[in-house]
Structure 1
Amino acid sequence: MKDVTAMKEIKPQRLQKGDTIGIISPASPPDVKNLERSFSFLEQLGLKYKVGNHVYAQNGYLAGEDDERLKDLQEMFLDQEVKAIFCAGGGYGTGRIAAQIDYELIRNHPKIFWGYSDITFLHTAIRQKTGLVTFHGPMLASDLGKEHADEWSKKYVSQLFEPQELRYPEHLSKLETIVSGTAEGELIGGNLCLITSTLGTAFEVDTKGKLLLLEDIHEEPRNVDRMLNQLQMAGKLDDAAGFIIGDFNDCEPKREASLTLEEVIDYYIQKTNKPAVKGFKIGHCSPHFSVPLGVKAVLHADQKEFIIENGVI
């Protein structure tokens, strides 16, 4: 495992009406129609917005060249007018720019950073290199700008405006306890594929004593098996304090001879004997429960309660 220097937690300042949001595409090109539809959502929140210079750029499956996406990211952190950075969408590409990011710049200009999916690599890198609390939440083009965007997904953006205890609501989804007990620790994680891709790099995920959130999309059970097995062999599952299993969208087997997704997840999580609950609407799903990463959270697995501390920002 790579040495991970413990960074002092940095909480970004909360939003106020009239603030400006910076919009970037650090991974793949966004759906332009959905992105532009999301602008009205930001305006309804009383926010202004500033679109990065290369948000609409395209280089194959990337939203522009690496240096262009990197420049947009860093310029938004530097821009004193910008109070929060929202990612337009995910896809692929953030891992390509992680090593070139000026983390000292981010540490000296902390602000809200919001996204999920491929953005998981940036969440992990930024937290471990700066200590900044970031937010795993639905993105503008991928989610909030869709024609029938979910109202509950929109609702959780409110955590950026005022301190509030986040408690997963029972009505959002049916939860199931995998391993009993109570676990607490810093909430980290996100997309399983991206978490696994940090192994062996300077940004290798540190799970020791942490509550690990896992979610993914378009991965057959054998692919989920491979990634969980790699995390297990690297000691990342045993190091964790507990597990929040989010949504695994379209992860059913495409062939007859297969284990089910549930069998795969239960097999690896039960081996750790750490408190775990599955079924959370966190990930590539609607509604999408937004959570801060890098703050203390508590999981009461038997009661199926997931609570995040009050006053995140």
Structure 2
Amino acid sequence: MSHLNKIVLSLVVMSSLTLPQNKPERLSPGDTILFIAPSGYLKQDRMALAKKRLEDRGYVTVQADDIFRAYGYLGGADERRVEEFMAGWTNQNIKAIFPGTGGYGTTRILDQLDYDIIKNNPKVLVGFSDITGLHLAINKMTGLTTFHTPSPMYGLGSEENLSLISDYYFWQAIEANNPNGYTIDVKLFELGESVITLHGGKGKGELIGGNLSLINILMGTPYEIETKGKILFIEDVGEAPYRIDRYFSQLRMAGKFDHLKGAILGKFTRRAKEPPDDDNSFTMMRVLEQYFSNLGIPVIANFPIGHYKYNISFPIGVMAEIDADKQTVRILENPTQ
């Protein structure tokens, strides 16, 4: 074998390697949960309500004295947010880390985290939106299962609390012992709206994904999403169809849709204060159809994840099966240990 062929073979082998799965211990009442602000700054009233509800369930919550600090639109200077985040992984009394909210800021600190410490001290990490940055980086660098879930401020800290479906799958993911996995079936909760099948069939693979804009921002970095052989879930908020189209075109050209086993597309909700779309604009569903209907894999859309009152929790990095005909997602293993 020539020297060049040996190099090519080595690169092929390296690209096929994945980190061994690393799972945190499941939570149980009495465990200690750390609130942090690694992204945007936090609102005291919402965090107080989340704290009360967790403590009513039997958990202990702790937080830094300066957790409500603000630095521009951030929850503190980069150095302080890194310090607070890493302190959660080194403190053996902490069993879970709950970022209070998303917003903006995680991408400023990803290259300052100690991934060896995170890998060697597995804990439950929850959140969505900007927290996608942490989920993808930790998945890529450590293999640790993390959880795409409602955040304390917009879930447990909401006046109306978690919706029934959000509450059920949140605790299924991080607290329940499911040695044979569990099934996520939206139809059981009678939400008054339907999931849409864009392409039928079944597919198995690890769950990976999160907020679309964060997925795109991390392209070309060490934390770029790996999608080959996986089930991709994507959601976003406040983005016009042409912007979603732009994000998808980048991922398509980067080959991120080429070897998927399935796709779960969220609501892509809009904000009330957004300007109306141009009369000639594609609808959001039409954009989703253009990119996902002809991939030859199971695809469901309008799924309740992310920026929506119904926000189903997904464990990132665990094996799952999508059945687009039944419109269900089955988690095939225990997300925790």
TM-score by length of 1: 0.95
Match of residue 175 from structure 2 = 161
Distance 1:72 1:3 in 2: 33
* Equivalent residues of 1:166, 1:310 under 8 A apart: no
When structure 1 is superposed on structure 2, of 96-105 and 299-308 the one drifting more is 299-308
Distance 2:308 2:54 in 1: 21
Distance 2:64 2:135 in 1: 19
2:136 aligned with 1:124, yes or no?
A: yes
Which residue, out of 87, 94, 101, partners 2:106? Answer: 94
* Alpha-carbon distance, 1:210 to partner: 0.6
Change (3 A) 1:11 1:76: same
* Alpha-carbon distance, 1:270 to partner: 1.9
When structure 1 is superposed on structure 2, of 163-172 and 113-122 the one drifting more is 163-172
Match of residue 107 from structure 1 = 119
Match of residue 248 from structure 1 = 268
Aligned residues: 313
Change (3 A) 1:91 1:45: same
Distance 1:52 1:155 in 2: 29
Higher Rg of the two aligned structures: 2
Which residue, out of 33, 41, 51, partners 2:63? Answer: 51
Secondary structure at 1:141's aligned position in 2?
A: coil
Provide runs of 4+ in structure 1 moved above 3 Å: 2-5
2:42 aligned with 1:22, yes or no?
A: no
Long gaps (5+) in structure 2? 1-13
Change (3 A) 1:5 1:198: farther
* Equivalent residues of 1:198, 1:205 under 8 A apart: yes
2:312 aligned with 1:295, yes or no?
A: no
Long gaps (5+) in structure 1? none
* Alpha-carbon distance, 1:175 to partner: 1.0
Kindly provide the CA deviation profile for residues 252-278 of structure 1, in whole angstroms up to 9, marking residues without a partner as x.
853222111001111011242221001
* Alpha-carbon distance, 1:305 to partner: 1.8
Which residue, out of 209, 215, 218, partners 2:229? Answer: 209
Report percent identity of matched pairs. 38
* Alpha-carbon distance, 1:243 to partner: 0.2
When structure 1 is superposed on structure 2, of 142-151 and 32-41 the one drifting more is 142-151
Kindly provide the CA deviation profile for residues 136-175 of structure 1, in whole angstroms up to 9, marking residues without a partner as x.
1001112220111234223333222222314223134411
2:281 aligned with 1:258, yes or no?
A: yes
TM-score by length of 2: 0.89
Change (3 A) 1:45 1:157: farther
* Alpha-carbon distance, 1:3 to partner: 5.7
Change (3 A) 1:131 1:54: farther
Task: State the one-letter code of the partner of 2:40.
Answer: S
* Alpha-carbon distance, 1:310 to partner: 4.0
Q: RMSD across aligned C-alpha pairs, in angstroms?
A: 1.8
* Equivalent residues of 2:170, 2:312 under 8 A apart: no
Distance 2:170 2:51 in 1: 14
Change (3 A) 1:162 1:143: closer
Secondary structure at 1:178's aligned position in 2?
A: strand
* Equivalent residues of 2:163, 2:309 under 8 A apart: no
Match of residue 76 from structure 2 = 64
Which residue, out of 16, 21, 31, partners 1:9? Answer: 21
Match of residue 332 from structure 2 = 309
Secondary structure at 2:207's aligned position in 1?
A: strand
* Alpha-carbon distance, 1:117 to partner: 0.5
Distance 2:229 2:135 in 1: 18
